Structure 1
Amino acid sequence: MKISKRDIKSFIGTNVLRFATIFGLIFLAIFLYTIFSRGGSVISLSFLTEVPKKGMTEGGIYPAIIGTLALTLTSILIAFPIGLFAAIYLVEYAGKNWFVRSIRVAIGTLSAVPSIIFGLFGLTVFVVFFDLGVSILSGALTLAVMVLPYIIKTSEEALKAVPQSFREASIALGANKSRTILKVVLPTAFQSIITGIVVSIGRVAGETAPILFTAATFYTRELPSSFMDEVMALPYHIYALMTEGTNPVKQEPMAYGTAVVLLALVLIVSLVAIIWRYNIRRKKKW
C-alpha cells in the first residue's frame, strides 16, 4: 500500500497538535496542583469572611475580595460600552481611509503596551491631574483604559463575523441601519462579544501593576465606603505577602490561598458566562 505525501503530512500534523495539547494539559495540571496543594490548606470560611490580623499573618482576605470585585466590575462597566460603541462605529459606519487605519494601528499598539505603563498613566492622569487620589475610581479607570483596546478588537471581530447577507435582508425588509445593528447584528455577534468580555474580566481581575499606584493599599481592615477610597486587592495582596511580609512561614500559605481564591473567582465568572451563552444559543435554536 502506497502512502502519499499528503497522508504523511496529515499524520505528522495531527500528532504534533496532539503532543502540543497533551504538553499544555500536563503543565496546566502541574500549575493547578502547585497552587492548590500549597494554598488549599488555608481555605476556610473564616479565611474568606474575616479581615487580616496581626500584620496579615492571621485572619482572612475579605477586604481584598471586595476590593477586587469593585475594581473589576467598575472597570468592565466603564470599558464595555465604550469598546462596543467604538467597534460598532469601526465596522458599521467608518469608511476605509487613513484615519480609520490609524485608529486600528493605535488599538493594536495599545494592546501590546505593558501593564506597568498603564499604571504610570493612571497615576499621572487620574490620581494627580484629575485629583482623584489613590481610589477605586482611579484604579477602575486605569484598568478600563488598559482593557479597552482588547474589548474593541474582540467586539470588532465578532461584528465582522456576522454575514453581510443578514444586514442586507434586514434593510430589504424595511429596517434602517441603526435598527438592523440593534436587532440583527448585535444579537448574532453577542456570544462572541461575551467571550471577549469574560477574557477581559480575567485579565482585569489578575492585574497588579495598573492598581499598584492608583488603587491598592498594602493593609486595611476597613471596607470601602465610596469609590474614592483605596482598597486591598487579591493580586496586590499576593505580591505584598510574598515580597514585603515579616513572617514568610505564615504568609506564604496565605499568599497561595489568595491565589486559589483569585483563580476560583475568575473560573466562577467564566462559568456563569458560559452558562449564559449556552442558554442564549439554546433559545435561538428554538
Structure 2
Amino acid sequence: MAEHYIDHARVESRMGRRIQTNRAVRGVFLASTMFGLVVLAVLLYDVISDSLGWLDWNFLTSPPSFSAENAGVAGAITGTLWLMLIVGPVTMVIGVATAIYLEEYVKKGRVRTFFETNISNLAGVPSIVFGLLGLTVFVRLLGMGSVVLAGGLTMSLLVLPIVIVAAQEALRAVPGYLREASYGMGATRWQTIRNVVLPAALPSILTGMILAMSRAIGETAPLIAIGIPALLIPLPSSVFDSFTVLPVQIYYWTIDAPLTAEYAYLAAAAIIVLLVIMFTLNSAAILIRNKFQKRF
C-alpha cells in the first residue's frame, strides 16, 4: 500500500509540473502574440493617421507629380494590376504543371529528391537575387527593357517555389482510394489527374496562390533591380509598356520624405491603398477557393 501511495504521489507531482509548464508556455505564446498584435495596431494607427487628409479620390486618380499636393497613385495602381495579370497565370500554369510532374510522374528516387531540394532552396533565396536574374535574362538578354512583361516574369520566378510546394502538398493530400477508383473505372493517368486529383486539390492549390500573390504584391527589391522607375511615366496599356507599382512608389516617396515632409503622408496613403488591394485580391481568391472546395 505504501509503495502504491508513493507511485501515485509521483504521478500527481509529475502531472502537476507538466500542467504548470504548459500554462507557462501558453503564457509566453500569448504574450508573444499580443506583442505582435500591439505593434501591428500601432503601425496601422500611425499609417492611417498620417494618411488622413491625403487619401481621397483625387489621390487615387491622379498620376505622379513633382508637386506633393497634386501627386497620386493612378499609375502605380494600374501597374500593380498589370503585374498581377502576368504573375497569376504564369505561376499557376508552371507551378501546378511542375507539381503534377513531380508527384504523379516522377518516381521516388534521386531525380525527384534533386528537384525537390532545389525548389525548397529557391524558396529561401533573397528576392534581390531574382531581381538580378530578371535584369540579366529578361531586361538585357531578351531585350525587353523595364516593361510589365519583364517585371511580371521576374516576380513569377520569385513566387514560383511557393506555388510548387503548395501544389505538391495539395496533391499528396488527395486520398489514394480516389485514384484507385478512377483507375478501376478504366481511366488513364492523365484522365485521373484532370478529373479527380486536380478538382480535389484545387482549394489547397488556390491557398498557395493566395500566399504567392500576396508576396508578389508587396515585393520591391526585384523590381528596383530590373530598373522599374517611379517617374512621371504614362499609365501602362499593355505588357510592353513601362510601369511602376505601389511598393516602388512608396519606397521612393519614403526616401524623399526627409527632404519634403509631405512625401511621408503620400507614402502612408499609398500604403493604405496597397493594403486594400492586397486584401481585396486575397478575399476574392478565398471566395473562389471556398466555391470549389469539396470534401472527400
TM normalised by structure 2 equals 0.89
Counterpart of 2:39 in structure 1 is 27
Cα distance between partner residues in 1 of 2:187 and 2:31: 50
Instruction: Tell whether the 8 Å contact from 2:130 to 2:158 is kept in structure 1 after alignment.
Output: yes
Letter in 2 for 1:249: A
Counterpart of 2:48 in structure 1 is 36
Aligned with residue 214 of structure 2, among 171, 187, 202:
202
Instruction: Tell whether the 8 Å contact from 1:220 to 1:232 is kept in structure 2 after alignment.
Output: no
**Which structure would you say has the larger Rg?**
2
Q: CA deviation at 1:233?
A: 1.0
Counterpart of 1:52 in structure 2 is 64
* Alignment CA distance shift 1:280-1:113 (3 Å): same
Output one character per residue of 1:2-30: Cα deviation in whole Å (capped at 9) or x when no partner: 46144334433433333333233222222
Cα distance between partner residues in 1 of 2:20 and 2:185: 51
User: Are 2:154 and 1:125 aligned?
Assistant: no
Q: Unpaired runs of 5+ in structure 1?
A: none
Counterpart of 2:5 in structure 1 is none
Counterpart of 1:274 in structure 2 is 286
Letter in 2 for 1:233: V
* Alignment CA distance shift 1:55-1:98 (3 Å): farther
Q: Unpaired runs of 5+ in structure 2?
A: 1-8
Cα distance between partner residues in 1 of 2:225 and 2:251: 14
Q: CA deviation at 1:221?
A: 4.4
Aligned with residue 104 of structure 1, among 104, 108, 116:
116
Counterpart of 1:225 in structure 2 is 237
Task: Please say which of residues 168-177 and 64-73 is displaced more in the overlay.
Answer: 168-177
Cα distance between partner residues in 2 of 1:65 and 1:236: 11
Q: CA deviation at 1:140?
A: 0.8
SS at match of 1:95: coil
Aligned with residue 178 of structure 2, among 152, 166, 177:
166
Counterpart of 1:251 in structure 2 is 263
SS at match of 2:53: helix
Task: Please say which of residues 32-41 and 265-274 is displaced more in the overlay.
Answer: 32-41
Counterpart of 2:4 in structure 1 is none
* Alignment CA distance shift 1:188-1:258 (3 Å): same
User: Are 2:283 and 1:239 aligned?
Assistant: no
Cα distance between partner residues in 1 of 2:30 and 2:178: 37
Fraction of identical pairs, as percent: 36
Cα distance between partner residues in 2 of 1:22 and 1:170: 49
Q: CA deviation at 1:52?
A: 2.1
Counterpart of 1:114 in structure 2 is 126
Instruction: Tell whether the 8 Å contact from 1:68 to 1:233 is kept in structure 2 after alignment.
Output: yes
Q: CA deviation at 1:58?
A: 2.3
Cα distance between partner residues in 2 of 1:215 and 1:82: 25
User: Are 2:188 and 1:176 aligned?
Assistant: yes
Instruction: Tell whether the 8 Å contact from 1:51 to 1:62 is kept in structure 2 after alignment.
Output: yes
Letter in 1 for 2:64: P
Output one character per residue of 1:58-96: Cα deviation in whole Å (capped at 9) or x when no partner: 231100000011112212211210000000111111111
TM normalised by structure 1 equals 0.91
Counterpart of 1:138 in structure 2 is 150
Task: Please say which of residues 209-218 and 260-269 is displaced more in the overlay.
Answer: 209-218
Letter in 2 for 1:30: V
Letter in 2 for 1:236: V
Task: Give the aligned CA root-mean-square deviation in angstroms.
Answer: 2.0
Alignment of 1:66-81 (within 5 A): 66-81=78-93
Name the count of aligned residue pairs. Answer: 283
Output one character per residue of 1:119-145: Cα deviation in whole Å (capped at 9) or x when no partner: 111111111111111111111111111
Q: CA deviation at 1:32?
A: 1.8
Task: Please say which of residues 83-92 and 99-108 is displaced more in the overlay.
Answer: 99-108
Counterpart of 1:264 in structure 2 is 276
Task: Please say which of residues 212-221 and 111-120 is displaced more in the overlay.
Answer: 212-221
* Alignment CA distance shift 1:276-1:189 (3 Å): same
The structure 1 segments of at least 4 consecutive aligned residues displaced by more than 6 Å after TM superposition are none
Instruction: Tell whether the 8 Å contact from 2:147 to 2:242 is kept in structure 1 after alignment.
Output: yes
Counterpart of 2:106 in structure 1 is 94
* Alignment CA distance shift 1:127-1:108 (3 Å): same
User: Are 2:73 and 1:61 aligned?
Assistant: yes
Task: Please say which of residues 22-31 and 126-135 is displaced more in the overlay.
Answer: 22-31
